[in-house]
Amino acid sequence: MKIHEYQAKELLRRYGVKTPRGKTTEDAAEARAIAEELGGRCVVKAQIHAGGRGKGGGVKLAASPQEAETLAGQILGMQLITPQTGAEGQTVRKLLIEEAVDIARELYLAVTLDREARQPVIMASLAGGMDIEEVAEEDPEAIIRQHFDPHLGLLPFQARAVTGGLGLEGGTARQAQKLLAALAKAFVETDASLAEINPLLITGSGDVLALDAKMNFDDNALFRHRDIADMRDLEEENPLEVRASEFGLNYIKLDGNIACMVNGAGLAMATMDIIKLYGGAPANFLDVGGSASQEAVKNAFQILVEDPSVKAVLINIFGGIARTDRIARGVVGALEELGDVTLPVVVRLEGTNVEQGRAILQEADFEFVVATDMDDAANKAVAAAGGA
Amino acid sequence: MSIWVGKQTRLLVQGITGNEGTFHALGCRDYGTQVVAGVTPGKGGQSVEGIPVFDSVATARAKTECNTSMIFVPPPFAADAIMEAVDAGIELVICITEGIPVNDMLKVQAFMEGSSSRLVGPNCPGVITPGEAKIGIMPGHIHTPGSIGVVSRSGTLTYEAVWQLSNAGLGQSTCVGIGGDPINGTDFIDVLSAFAADDDTEGVIMIGEIGGSAEEDAARWIQANYEKPVVGFIAGRTAPPGRRMGHAGAIVAGGKGGAEDKIATMRDCGLQVVESPGEMGSTMAKVLGR
């Protein structure tokens, strides 16, 4: 799960990470009042989940409260397009107004899980403000990596290794070590999957501040963090994906025109891949799961056909725990309820209760395109969607 | 022959009194697995269709000499269940539960250091030696005894591979689902090492997916250590970066874990990687000259 910058900063402050002073608002006139409180000069920052906000014009420096109001008026409500939003952009609903601080140096700092080492790792670099992936590509040596044991926390010598690698000295180094320990503790205790400060700021007077903050969380651990779960902003997510998640469905919207309904994540990915291999393009990833009820399958099918770009549907079910007859009933139920579906629906059923499943489809008042295996199903779906 | 599970398996089911636990404990027993005990804390003394239920794994172990555990405990308590089984000295712990927090698995990993128990999963379909024992949620009837080993990060895609193999007249020695989580107990190399030592496993189908670098590590290990033919498939070529594709571990992040890199490394290391997931069985038949 992702949260906004202002929420991440709020969480990190609880652990002792210093940030610039600021407040959020959804109103331009209020932005002016906040700017006055902050002393006039301030930064107006769009709060959307996607990164690269500055590049898209969502982060602006205001020299005065008047300018803060003007900029806030321009940014609020705009469709902010960044390299991470896609072409349609994301509507800005909230702003963070922060005091402008003098910048001496900008660094990069993050904690994430290193899957191969099976430990959290701190990543730091001198190239603050830059995308870490670019740095990793151009100059991998420039990234300092420090693993730590999540059960012991970041040890003082490990924090010193990081600040030493960044060339920090004196009081600045000590402040940065404190911040590192706080960030590592926050990462572990909140079950985060990413805690990133980019840039980490060294001010003219040597103070260390988190100028930006980004946190992602392990969805599987949200049950023990109600406060974080409450930070979820559904406005930032695709509405079809939100609806699917309400039914326990794993759905991700993609750009193609062949909708897929599959059981199991691996088979769902493989089905997308085989559509592409035969010259088509998948419209979504959808794993209906092992224990999907007839009702969930019905909703899944409705979500698929609601997508206006869809030209054909491919249902690929290998029944293990998921019983093919239950899925067939769900699909037929959805077709009956929708009434006027004219899309071609290619079906490949195999596994538990497959005979009953096939019989249900045959008896339905709808002409399914029946496929014998995955290759056949993909070929037929691509042809039905208008060919490669 | 086979690896890890078979006629000698004496199965304990942790979480046996839950819906899924009961359903699959009985499914395993119907297949022919010796299901000797169940554990649900607080429900010791009860029985599930003749299977005795105990309060703790230690008691179940002492009373029934169970040597393998299958876990259906809900995610918040599953890591504790794994550690309890390891503490009781259960040799093989197979965790089916999906949705265990990463931090809990890091705890399990620290707890297991120095232990001789093997953990398979979590978030996996289990392990089956066709004709001998089924420990997990896979449909038993699609499997046939034979000489192809299957190792996979995915559940249903494994069923797909098994079905294709059986249709091509190729039975399976053992099929191991290592699970779709980023931190798991058993990796590809562990399973491949066991297949290497098993005389009756002729060839292996290895099914990977996007995320992490376990497939690349396995491919390099195969090139250096493994003689038998390996047919591979990687799911997720069309997955957009930065999105989790159902499995907690299936994500291309920070420019790493993409399908194309995995496929290229596997091919460089001499694996037969199929383009279409529909060709896993037929390719294995071709490689073996059947």
DSSP assignment of A131-173 equals -HHHHHHH-GGG-EEEE--TTT---HHHHHHHHHHTT--HHHH
Among B207, B237, B246, whose Cβ lies nearest the Cβ of A273? B237
Provide the pLDDT for residue A296: 84
Residues of chain A with pLDDT under 50: none
CA–CA min distance B22, chain A (Å): 13
Taking contacts as CB-CB distances below 8 angstroms, the residues of chain A near B235 are: 266-267, 269-270, 273
In this prediction, residue B287 has a pLDDT band, given cuts at 50, 70 and 90, of very high
pLDDT, tens digit (0-9, with 9 covering 90-100), for B239-282: 998 888 989 888 888 778 999 999 999 999 999 999 999 999 99
Q: With CB atoms and an 8 Å threshold, state whether B254 touches A136.
A: yes
Chain B contacts of A293, Cβ < 8 Å?
Answer: none
Cβ–Cβ of B238/A290 closer than 8 Å?
A: no
Chain A residues touching B211 at Cβ < 8 A: 115
B157: nearest CB among A188, A270, A275 = A270
Q: For residue A82, give how far its alpha carbon lies from the nearest alpha carbon of chain B (Å).
A: 15
Q: In A, which residues are within 8 Å of B247 by CB distance?
A: 265-266
pLDDT tens figures, A82-136: 888 888 899 999 999 999 999 889 999 999 999 999 999 999 999 887 777 777 7
Predicted confidence at residue A322, as pLDDT, reads 74
Distance (Å, whole) CA A314 – CA B285: 28
- Point out the residue among A276, A318, A373 whose CB comes nearest to the CB of B278: A373
Q: Among A137, A252, A275, whose Cβ lies nearest the Cβ of B245?
A: A252
The burial class, CB within 10 Å (0-12 / 13-18 / 19+), for A205 is exposed
- Those residues with Cβ within 8 angstroms of residue A160's Cβ, 6 or more apart along the chain or in another chain: A173, A177
When scoring B156, B210, B237, B261 by the number of chain A Cβ atoms within 10 A, the one with the most, hence best to mutate, is: B156
Å from A74 to nearest chain B CA? 30
Strands B47-48 and B118-120 turn out to be: unpaired
Structure confidence at residue A324 (pLDDT): 87
Tell me, yes or no, if the pTM score tops 0.90: yes
> CA–CA separation, A254 vs A213, rounded Å?
28
DSSP B114-145: T---EEE-SSS-EEEETTTEEEESS-GGG--E
Residues of A in contact with B275 (CB under 8 A): 277
Q: Find chain B residues with C-beta within 8 A of A287's C-beta.
A: 246
Give the active site residue among A5, A6, A108, A251: A108
Give the angle subtended at the CA of A189 by the CAs of B181 and B242, to the nearest 5°: 40
The greatest distance separating any two alpha carbons of chain B, rounded to the nearest whole angstrom, comes to 56
| Cβ contact B137–A321 (<8 Å) | yes
Q: How many CA atoms lie within 13 A of A34 on its CB side?
A: 25
- B279: Cβ contacts below 8 Å, ≥ 6 apart: A375
Closest residue on chain B to A216 (Cα) = B242
What is the rounded distance in angstroms from the CA atom of residue B277 to the CA atom of residue B163? 12
Q: Do B156 and A374 touch (CB under 8 A)?
A: no
pLDDT value of position B1 = 64
pLDDT (tens digit per residue) in B65-123:
999 999 999 999 999 999 999 999 999 999 999 999 999 999 999 999 999 999 999 99
Contact residues on chain A for B163, CB-CB shorter than 8 A: 318, 350-351
A196 is catalytic: yes
pLDDT, one tens digit per residue, over B168-213 is 999 999 999 999 999 999 999 999 999 999 999 999 999 999 999 9
Contact call for B250 and A265, based on CB within 8 A: yes
Per-residue pLDDT of A125-176, as tens digits, reads: 998 877 777 777 777 778 999 999 999 999 999 999 999 999 999 999 999 9
CA distance A365 to chain B (A): 29
Chain B residues touching A218 at Cβ < 8 A: 101-103, 248
Which of B163, B278, B57 has its CA nearest to residue A320? B163
Distance, CA of A22 to CA of A8 (rounded, Å): 13
pLDDT of residue A327: 87
Chain B touched by A114 (CB under 8 Å): no
CB A72 within 8 A of CB A60: no
Distance CA A296, CA A183 (A): 40
Candidates A118, A268, A282; nearest CB to B106: A118
Domains present along chain B, CATH in parentheses:
10-120 (3.40.50.720), 138-287 (3.40.50.261)
Are the CB atoms for B25 and B51 separated by under 8 Å? yes
Interface check for A37 against chain B (CB to CB < 8 A): the answer is: no
Which contiguous run of DSSP H or E holds residue A329?
Answer: helix A324-338
Q: Would the ipTM clear 0.90, i.e. be above it?
A: yes
Contacts of A39 (CB under 8 A, 6+ apart): A99
Choose the mutation target among A125, A147, A220, A375 for the interface with B, i.e. most B CBs under 10 Å: A220
Q: Which of A118, A275, A285 sits opposite B109 (nearest CB)?
A: A118
DSSP letter for each residue of A110-123 = EEEEETTTTEEEEE
Instruction: Name the pairing type of β-strands B203-209 and B172-177.
Output: unpaired
Let me know if A226 is exposed, middle or buried by CB neighbors in 10 A (0-12, 13-18, 19+).
exposed
The distance of B23 to chain A (nearest Cα, Å) reads 10
- What does the DSSP assignment read for B133-199? EEEESS-GGG--EEEEEEEES-SHHHHHHHHHHHHTT--EEEEEE--SSSS-SS-HHHHHHHHHT-T
State the pLDDT at residue A388.
56
**Would you say B93 and B80 are in contact if contact means Cβ atoms under 8 Å apart?**
no
Residue A45 β-bridge partners: A59, A96
Residue A102: C-alpha distances to residues A61, A182, A203, A304 (Å)? 12, 23, 6, 51
Measured CA to CA, the distance from residue B271 to residue B282 in angstroms comes to 15
